[in-house]
Every structure is written in structure tokens, then in C-alpha cells.
């Protein structure tokens, strides 16, 4: 996708399609008005029929209207002009882009100069347009013989309100596109099947990314190196798998060496069969998505590097495959984590926390400013929140608040659950320092309680993305969440 700014009145823009907003009851935006008066009222004649009323997200295409330079005009319903919240604006953009993607039009101009979004500065809509242009054009093709038509070649333009706005809007377009691309990278990795996207494959993709950017350095630790570090917990998960586990370290330097980094820890279980505590067969295929936390870390670092954000960021990914086998960890086995704490593995399907705890201990060596782990950790998060929310738990209220705020800002929202002392009791073990499950009640919280024992030395937040990371059913596919949230958070940080 190519992005640019084009100045001029909507009727004079040369493009294959010009998009203008029409509000509820056929009320015309300024740009729609200019098209209307230049085209012998072709819009108001249409809205008078009430075939198209400007309902939020509705679209109506007009072909070669007289007096208009563009070949097509797309009317885009904006709903109630006084209620254009960022959520509604997002829906509007998505519907507009979907309509445009269905056309054989190479250049599309969005005439949105007069459109103001509640509680957002003018650049927000521009950035979001680019982000959504990227993400609505994503298609999974990798393992299909018949590839769907590429949409990436389209040229998208938007009009600045004044020449003084140029720089800001150009920056906004770059920013939005970079976020959209990071989201798509995360989706792509998530969607790949487990027999392609193995721990080794993930490590390779991180290395490829590292080679693309001067400020990114990628290192990959082998099982042998992890064993020397004492990562007995992480390694116990991959014990039954023929695939070698990898610890992937992605270091981004956007600020002075002395500036403490933010660390993102991703769960990278490339397939979660449950291990000896084998999962039931229904929907087990979806456990290829159990590396979506890792994918979001890679997607976020790709965006951060592309935007050259002025912060230091480290991504740590525990990449493993969880399989049964004669060497697999068994219920009742006790393993020793890198922290020295012993863990009784009562259920081999609670493997994510076993991977993350060693990665969290490894994070200590970076003296992090904050640590956020991202994991498809519990079915309980899906039961609690469905797919709309990233479950958030934290040992620091400021960190939690800023993640909640960033989630609102970019509409990749989180909701906080309590990480109270009372829940810790559920993790008592008769034979080890801690058990890896806390019983059937409050599963998302007890999983976070487990992690909190390994995150005592820094400000830490946990995002359980089991519900938000992918969609099921006929729209099955990774969503790329919470890349937008993580980028928003890192953008809000000072070096």
C-alpha cells in the first residue's frame, strides 16, 4: 500500500475512487457537499430516495458522476455526526476500506478533512486509516494453491486541512501503516500451521527481522544453553517434543544504552496438545494459535523498529511445542525453574506458565523499567471475557492504569482482574515450592498468581490474550492483538 497527501477539493481530485462521508438522514459532510454541487446534485438526489441514509458503516457507490474528476465516488455512512467516537470512526473506516477493497480501483482518495473524531486529535483518523488499510487488506495465502488477489498495490491518499498539517499527517500515515504491518506480521505467524511454525521457524523469522533493522539485535538460545541457565521449567514443556525449544531474544535500541528497557515476554507454544494431560480433540487445531503472544512481540518489535521509537525494548520469547511422548513431563513431576523455585507439574496442559516463568526470571538481567508478558494462557479468560478483551493483571497500579488507558486510545482494550494475595493459596503444593495449577476456580487469576512469583523484582503486567488473539468459526484466524496496545504503550514512554 502506498500513502500520500493530496490537496484540493474533492471533486477535483484525480483518483479511481473518492470517498466522502454522509451523515445520518442524508446530511452531507463538507466534502460530500462539494461533490454534490459540482455534480448536479447527484448525492442529494440519491439520499432523497432514502436508499442510502448515511447509517454508520453503510456504503453506496456512484459511477462516473458528471463534473467529478474521479471515476467513482463512494458515499460512506458516518452515522450521527455528533456521535463520531473513535469506536464509530473505526467502524466507518473499516466499512469504507472493505467496500474499496472490493473494487478494481488502484488509487483511492479519502476526502475526510472536515471529519472530527470525538476526544482525538486530527491526526488520529489519518493514522487509523493507514492502519486499517493495511489490516483490512491482509489475506492468508501461505498454504493455498490458489492465492487471493493482492490488495497491497493500492495507493491511498488523504487531504490535509492546511499546508501546516502536512508534516503531522505524513507522520501519522507512516505510523498507522507501521502498526498495521506489525499487526499483519503477528497474524501471519499466528495463522501458520504448527508443522511450519515451529520454535525453530519462529527463531528464524525473528532473525530475519533482526537483519532488516540496524537497531535490532536477535539472539537465539538453544536447549543446551537454556539447560546451562537452569531453565528446567521451560525445558520440561518441550521434553516430549521432537522440536527443539528456543529462547528468542530481540533487543531494540532506540535510546541511550543507559536507558532501562521495557521488556515484552511472549508465550510461544507453537502447538499445545496439552502434553500427557492431553486436550480433547474438538478444536485442538486452534492450539496452533498458542504462540500468538510470541507473534505479538515480534509484530510489536517490527513496528517499533520501523518507527524508530526513542525507547529501548527487549522481546523475550519462550518457543516450545507441548507434546506427549515417552520423554514428556508427567503429572506429578517436579521441575526446578531458573529462579531456583521448584514446581510440581500437576497438569501438563498448564504449560504456558512453565515457559513464561523462566523467561520472566531471564528478564531480570535487563534491569527492566517494566515487563509485560503476553500469553494465550487460560481457557478461563475466554469464558470470562469472550473475544473483546485482553485480560490484564499487574503488580503495579501505574503500569496497569497506563495499559488500560493505551487500550482505550487505540481500541485494543484491556480489563483488569484482581491479583489478590488470597488467590495465592490455591497454588500450594505438598511436594514442591509451588504447584502449576490452582484448581478449577478463578483460572485466569491463579495463572497470573503463578507468574507473579517470578516477577517480584520489577514492575510487571500480564496480558492473557486467550480470547482476543484469534477468532474461531468461519472467520477463524489470528487477530494480531495486542500489537496495537503494546505499540501505543511504548509510544507513550519517555526514553
Residues serving a catalytic function are 279, 353
- Write the CB contacts of 127 (distance below 8 Å, at least 6 apart in sequence): 172, 173, 175, 176, 179
* DSSP state at residue 198: -
Among 298, 294, 295, 322, smallest CA distance to 234 is for: 322
**Contact flag: residue 464 with Mn ion (CB under 5 A):** no
Please tell me whether residue 482 binds ligand BES under the rule CB under 6 A: no
Q: Which of 387, 417, 392, 420 is closest to 405 using CA atoms? A: 392
Instruction: Choose from Zn ion, Mn ion, ligand BES, none: what does 229 bind? Cβ within 5-8 Å by kind.
Output: none
> Is 272 among the residues that bind ligand BES (CB under 6 A)?
yes
Residue 349 is a binding residue for Mn ion (CB under 5 A): yes
390, 411 contact by CB (below 8 A): no
C-beta closer to Zn ion: residue 352 or 467: 352
What does the alpha-carbon distance between residue 90 and residue 93 come to, in Å, rounded to a whole number? 5
36 lies in the site for ligand BES, by CB under 6 A:
no
Cβ(357)–Cβ(229) below 8 Å: no
From residue 330, give the alpha-carbon distance in Å to each of 236, 322, 324, 326, 335.
9, 12, 9, 10, 11
Q: Which is nearer to ligand BES, 179 or 437 (CB)?
A: 437
Interatomic CA distance for residues 330 and 162, integer angstroms: 66
Contact pick of 36, 134, 243, 290 for Zn ion (by CB under 5 A): 290
Regarding 290 and contact with ligand BES (CB under 6 A), the answer is yes
Decide which of Mn ion, Zn ion, ligand BES, none touches 480; Cβ closer than 5 to 8 Å per partner kind. Answer: none
Q: Which residue has the cell 490452582?
A: 438
Check residue 272 for interaction with Zn ion (CB under 5 A). Answer: yes
CB closer to Zn ion out of 290 and 344: 290
Residue 352 interacting with ligand BES (CB under 6 A): yes
Alpha helical stretches, state H, 69-121: 86-101
Could you tell me the smallest distance in angstroms from the CB atom of residue 274 to Mn ion? 5
Torsions phi, psi for 21 (to 5 deg):
-95, 135
Please choose, out of 101-109, 335-343, 347-355, 411-419, the segment that lies near ligand BES by the rule CB under 6 A: 347-355
Residue 376 within binding range of ligand BES, rule CB under 6 A:
yes
- Closest residue to Zn ion using C-beta atoms: 272
Region of 333 (left: φ > 0; alpha: ψ -120 to 50; beta: rest) is beta
Find the binder of Mn ion among 11, 31, 132, 272 (CB under 5 A): 272
Peptide bond into 294 cis (omega under 30): no
Shorter beta-carbon distance to Zn ion: residue 198 or 402: 198
Residues in contact with Mn ion by CB under 5 A are 272, 349, 351
Residues in contact with Zn ion by CB under 5 A are 269, 272, 290, 352
Residues in contact with ligand BES by CB under 6 A are 272, 290, 347, 349-352, 376-380, 382, 437, 443, 466
Amino acid at each position: 500500500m502506498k500513502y500520500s497527501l493530496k490537496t484540493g477539493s474533492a471533486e477535483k481530485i484525480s483518483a479511481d475512487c473518492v470517498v466522502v462521508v454522509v451523515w445520518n438522514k442524508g446530511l452531507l459532510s463538507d466534502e460530500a457537499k462539494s461533490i454534490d454541487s459540482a455534480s448536479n446534485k447527484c448525492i442529494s438526489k440519491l439520499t432523497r430516495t432514502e436508499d442510502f441514509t448515511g447509517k454508520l458503516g453503510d456504503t453506496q457507490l456512484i459511477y462516473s458522476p458528471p463534473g467529478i474528476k474521479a471515476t467513482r465516488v463512494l458515499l460512506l455512512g458516518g452515522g450521527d455526526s455528533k456521535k463520531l467516537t473513535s469506536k464509530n470512526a473505526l467502524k466507518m473506516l473499516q466499512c469504507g476500506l472493505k467496500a474499496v477493497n472490493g473494487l478494481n480501483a488502484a488509487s483511492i482518495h479519502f476526502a475526510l478533512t472536515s471529519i472530527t473524531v470525538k476526544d482525538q486529535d486530527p491526526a488520529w483518523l489519518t493514522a487509523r486509516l493507514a492502519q486499517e488499510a493495511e489490516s483490512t487488506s491482509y489475506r492468508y495465502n501461505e498454504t493455498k494453491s490458489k492465492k487471493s488477489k493482492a490488495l497491497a498495490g493500492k495507493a491511498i491518499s488523504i487531504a490535509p486541512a492546511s499546508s501546516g498539517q502536512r508534516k503531522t499527517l505524513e507522520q501519522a500515515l507512516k505510523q498507522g501503516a507501521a502498526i498495521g504491518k506489525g499487526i499483519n506480521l503477528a497474524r501471519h505467524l499466528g495463522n501458520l500451521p504448527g508443522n511450519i511454525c515451529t520454535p525453530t521457524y519462529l527463531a528464524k523469522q525473528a532473525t530475519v527481522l533482526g537483519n532488516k533493522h540496524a537497531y535490532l539485535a536477535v539472539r537465539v538460545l538453544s536447549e543446551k544453553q537454556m539447560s546451562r541457565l537452569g531453565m528446567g521449567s521451560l525445558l520440561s514443556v518441550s521434553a516430549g517434543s521432537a522440536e527443539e525449544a528456543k529462547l528468542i531474544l530481540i533487543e531494540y535500541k532506540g535510546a541511550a544504552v543507559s536507558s532501562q528497557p521495557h521488556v515484552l515476554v511472549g508465550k510461544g507454544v507453537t502447538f499445545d496438545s496439552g502434553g500427557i494431560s492431553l486436550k480433547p480433540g474438538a478444536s485442538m487445531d486452534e492450539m496452533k494459535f498458542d504462540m500468538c503472544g510470541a507473534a505479538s512481540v515480534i509484530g510489536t518489535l517490527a513496528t517499533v523498529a520501523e518507527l524508530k521509537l526513542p525507547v529501548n525494548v527487549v522481546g523475550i520469547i519462550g518457543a516450545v511445542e507441548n507434546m506427549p511422548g515417552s520423554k514428556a513431563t508427567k503429572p506429578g513431576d517436579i521441575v526446578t525453574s531458573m529462579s531456583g523455585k521448584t514446581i510440581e507439574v500437576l497438569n501438563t496442559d498448564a504449560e504456558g506458565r512453565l515457559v513464561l516463568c523462566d523467561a520472566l526470571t531471564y528478564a531480570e538481567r535487563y534491569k527492566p523499567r517494566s515487563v509485560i508478558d503476553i500469553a494465550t494462557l487460560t481457557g478461563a479468560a475466554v469464558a470470562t471475557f469472550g473475544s473483546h478483551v485482553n485480560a490484564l493483571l499487574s503488580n503495579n497500579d501505574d503500569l496497569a492504569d497506563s495499559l488500560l488507558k493505551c487500550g482505550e486510545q487505540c481500541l485494543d482494550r484491556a480489563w483488569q482482574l484482581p491479583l489478590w494475595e488470597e488467590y495465592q493459596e490455591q497454588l500450594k503444593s505438598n511436594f514442591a515450592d509451588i504447584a502449576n495449577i490452582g484448581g478449577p476456580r478463578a483460572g485466569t487469576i491463579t495463572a497470573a498468581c503463578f507468574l507473579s512469583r517470578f516477577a517480584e523484582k520489577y514492575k510487571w503486567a500480564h496480558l492473557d490474550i486467550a480470547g482476543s488473539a484469534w477468532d474461531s468459526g468461519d472467520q477463524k484466524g489470528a487477530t494480531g492483538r495486542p500489537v496495537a496496545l503494546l505499540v501505543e504503550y511504548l509510544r507513550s514512554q519517555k526514553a
